[in-house]
Amino acid sequence: MRHVHGRARRAGAALAAVLTWAGLLAGAAGCTSDGGGIGDGIGEVFGKPPAAEDVIRITPDDGSKAVRPKDEQLSVRVSDGRLESVKVVKSQDARQTPVSGRISDDGLSWRPADDRLALAAKYTVDAVALDGQGRRSARHTTFTTYVPDERFIGYVAPENRSVVGTGMIVSLEFSREITDRAAVERAVSVTAKPATEIRPHWFGKDRLDFRPREYWKPGTEVTVHLGLRDVEGAPGVYGLQHKKISFTVGRSQVSRVDAAERTMQVRRDGTLLTTVPITAGAPATPTYNGKMVITEMLDVTRMNSRTVGFGGEYDIPDVPHAIRLTSSGTFLHGNYWAPQDTFGRANVSHGCVGLRDVKGGGSDTPAGWFFDRSLIGDVVEVVHSKDRKVAPDNGLGGWNMNWKEWRAGSAVK
């Protein structure tokens, strides 16, 4: 009887255990008055898995709007465990672009390669991580960045893919005044092949020029990178451009105008090509001295004295072979209205340099010959005039500054 009773007790204990688990499962499987279910029941026994947002912390917060790049940076991190993957996509200007970045060596964080967020963009972040107990979590978040009301751009000279003379200076004129010149300067780079030292110089708050120490070597390939997009150039005013401009330096041509001798010597790669007679500024209106760079070439143009600060002394509607040397209105141009014996004998202009020409412009005249052999970026230097030296910011007059003065004009010290 003892044996039977022992077996009965064991069978009863087993039945009680089955009933206990059945009761637990029945209670867990059905709804209870407090809304508990199987997850709560198991969670009490094994520990509740943490929420994904507690495992993976993403900045800026999900759903954030008008995020200002200077206030927040994009980051993904976990407190323990490790990140398995992070994928970030930037949507801007109707284009989607992957955002490159890397997970840290300890696996706890991810940062983008470029810390600066773009403006007027939507970011989508997908991250997968394992917590400290090996449980996998995933997060999907989005946020948008601030859309500025005001923008600025830089107008660049020379033109993209142009061939220029060895005196060309890279010049950017901005559409708005720049107050944070250092930030804008850092966002622009000018490089050359073969490599040479190139330095920037600010003229006021809206112009930034770049040049090497000496004239470019013929054949140099120059590239201008504008990384101005989203750079804050002034309070609340952000750059718009992200582009590349390139140009090639052609042959060297430097012409020397001697106002006292009334001649111009034209040298190509250091060799004298020819000497032509000229007429420079009259004693009352002399021509600037100094190095000037050709910035514009017009087959024909109108010249009116009132547009350059004079009275009604002249208004010539069809000046041929007009080559601009300064922004203030100094040209080297064809002259058909002066007697032919004026050239090489008398200075009679209002500050320009005149070469003999015919009405309509002739190809076989001194003016036509010089025009056909000139490039934007060629240098014309005037000496022995009774006027002062041309200002460095009048046209591309930066070659009239020595290297120390030029370098002092950088906003990045």
pTM: 0.78
| Choice between 34 and 167, residue whose per-residue pLDDT is larger | 167
Domain 253-397 has CATH 2.40.440.10: yes
As a whole number of angstroms, the distance between CA 241 and CA 175 comes to: 12
pLDDT over 80 at 307, yes or no: no
* Amino acid found at 151: R
Of the pLDDT bands very low, low, confident and very high (cuts 50, 70, 90), residue 39 is very low
As a whole number of angstroms, the distance between CA 108 and CA 125 comes to: 16
And the tokens for 31? Answer: 């709804």
And the tokens for 79? Answer: 């407190």
As a whole number of angstroms, the distance between CA 16 and CA 131 comes to: 38
Helix (H, G, I), strand (E, B) or coil at 180: coil
Helix (H, G, I), strand (E, B) or coil at 366: helix
Long-range contacts of 197-203 (CB under 8 A, 24+ apart): 199/406, 199/407, 199/410, 200/409, 200/410, 200/411, 201/398, 201/401, 201/406, 201/407, 201/409, 201/410, 202/409, 202/410, 202/411, 203/392, 203/393, 203/409
Domain regions of the chain by residue span: 52-144, 150-250, 253-397
What per-residue confidence (pLDDT) applies to 135?
Answer: 93
What per-residue confidence (pLDDT) applies to 35?
Answer: 40
Annotated catalytic, 31? no
For domain 150-250, the CATH architecture is Sandwich (2.60)
How would DSSP label each residue in 279-311?
A: B-B-TTSPPPBEEEE--EEEEEEEEEGGGGT--
Among residues of the chain, what percentage have pLDDT more than 90?
81
User: CATH topology of 52-144 equal to that of 150-250?
Assistant: yes
As a whole number of angstroms, the distance between CA 46 and CA 56 comes to: 22
As a whole number of angstroms, the distance between CA 381 and CA 166 comes to: 13
- The CATH code belonging to domain 52-144 is 2.60.40.3780
Note the pLDDT tens digit of each residue in 332-372: 999 999 999 999 999 999 999 999 999 999 999 999 999 99
As a whole number of angstroms, the distance between CA 36 and CA 77 comes to: 32
Omega prior to 392 cis, within 30 of 0: no
Q: Which of 140, 333, 350, 384 is catalytic?
A: 333
As a whole number of angstroms, the distance between CA 219 and CA 112 comes to: 38
Annotated catalytic, 352? yes
